[in-house]
Structure 1
């Protein structure tokens, strides 16, 4: 049976690439037009390969390709491409960006058009590339991706009564926020600070296009990280390798940022 395919232009964000056979790469793009697609790039490891710069990690651009409905597609020629230079040159930015892209890869099936998510991923990478707090950009993406994993917590009002005018806490048992009047309903609620709850609610609906400056206290950033780790571990069950590396890297951060001082 012949697979349906067609030659057309597409816009893509390179999610990852991996070795395939001796001279080839498999390159996965999040495309604006067709969702996630895997491309076989033949001869990509050969010296002098013309498209080398167009399939580097953290590349975004437009291409002409032979798009298969299922299975492998093929890139015919790049049109206009560029790299997120800041991400490519910084191990911390790199780790957060890689984690965001791996979450998106797991969250959606291949070949499902995702024009809205294409734009959100592009904007998230742009913010990280520009030097905005990558941990907070990542939190926003994690929160907004939860419904794609089948977890859609109630984050605007109380999960029991719908009130919006009282202090909140997060309840995994009730699938979202509980107002102060119903805190007793869940003795295992997470005891979040009101500042953390505020950002959780804001991040669930924020438009990344309207984000230009991100300032969050380190204590709140830490609390948000713990909250997202708890939700993803207990309710979503997704553990990309890139997250394990990110966790390791975060443990290095204090040592890298505050190297020991030699008093000799």
Structure 2
């Protein structure tokens, strides 16, 4: 167990919970070390100075000590701000919680540092009211490879043609063009608009998105498709997804 003292890092406060009488455990996604749990002492003492820095969905720069295995510690926050809309809107909060929880599962073994900027940008877009469902779908598609599932979306997995209609085959791990549909009777039978957005989402860069609008039916088909892929090929289900599913049921 190694304690790295005096470290500076970017962070997003993911969650927090009371610990003992006056202390708190705060989970923060850090840019360099991934998801870490920080022990914060004396939260309910008068004059406590870190209050704003450990609010959920606060992000900024922190100084502290990072423990490889046990609890880490914050000493000083710098240039922090909160995602106000996410903090105050139950729907945006739910999407953000799901994105972060799913990411924590994907990077349970090894953190990939460039994903910090990607997840921070996803929350920035959601906080700016860019369609949270679409941003979530993009993250889901791009996380698949870190669950050991990397669908081949560039072309047909058999002949590599790009100009024909496609469908998604779980058995072949990607797209089949219509000339090879017969190879997999259990392909997902997706419409071409859903296929288009799956391919787009696999490659799009979040920092290039200014706004995006999809029809309700397209969003529903994407949701069902990604749920199927995650259920059959990934096998991961995080608690935050349950609330999202409930919200979608309320909207019907």
Q: TM-score range by the shorter chain?
A: over 0.9
- Report 1:112-123 matches (<5 A): 112-123=110-121
- CA contact 2:3–2:65 (8 Å) conserved in 1: no
Q: 1 CA distance for matches of 2:174 and 2:126?
A: 28
- CA contact 1:25–1:45 (8 Å) conserved in 2: no
Give structure 2 stretches of 5+ with no counterpart: none
Q: Does 1:221 align with 2:224?
A: no
> How far 1:48 moved relative to its partner?
4.2
Equivalent residue number for residue 69 of structure 1: 68
Q: Does 1:41 align with 2:48?
A: no
* Cα distance per residue 1:169-199 (max 9 Å; x no partner): 0111111111100001111111111010000
Q: 1 CA distance for matches of 2:3 and 2:213?
A: 49
Cα RMSD between the aligned structures?
A: 1.5
Equivalent residue number for residue 178 of structure 1: 176
Q: 1 CA distance for matches of 2:46 and 2:241?
A: 33
Equivalent residue number for residue 196 of structure 1: 194
- Helix, strand or coil for the counterpart of 2:42? coil
- Helix, strand or coil for the counterpart of 2:56? coil
Give structure 1 stretches of 5+ with no counterpart: 255-264
> How far 1:35 moved relative to its partner?
2.0
- CA contact 1:168–1:179 (8 Å) conserved in 2: yes
Equivalent residue number for residue 104 of structure 1: 103
- CA contact 1:32–1:113 (8 Å) conserved in 2: no
Which contiguous aligned blocks of 4+ residues in structure 1 show a shift greater than 4 angstroms?
none
Q: How many residues matched?
A: 252
Q: 1 CA distance for matches of 2:71 and 2:45?
A: 21
* TM value normalised by structure 2: 0.95
- More deviation in 67-76 or 198-207? 67-76
Q: 2 CA distance for matches of 1:43 and 1:230?
A: 45
- CA contact 2:106–2:146 (8 Å) conserved in 1: yes
Q: Does 1:86 align with 2:85?
A: yes
> How far 1:47 moved relative to its partner?
4.9
- More deviation in 154-163 or 143-152? 154-163
- Helix, strand or coil for the counterpart of 1:26? strand
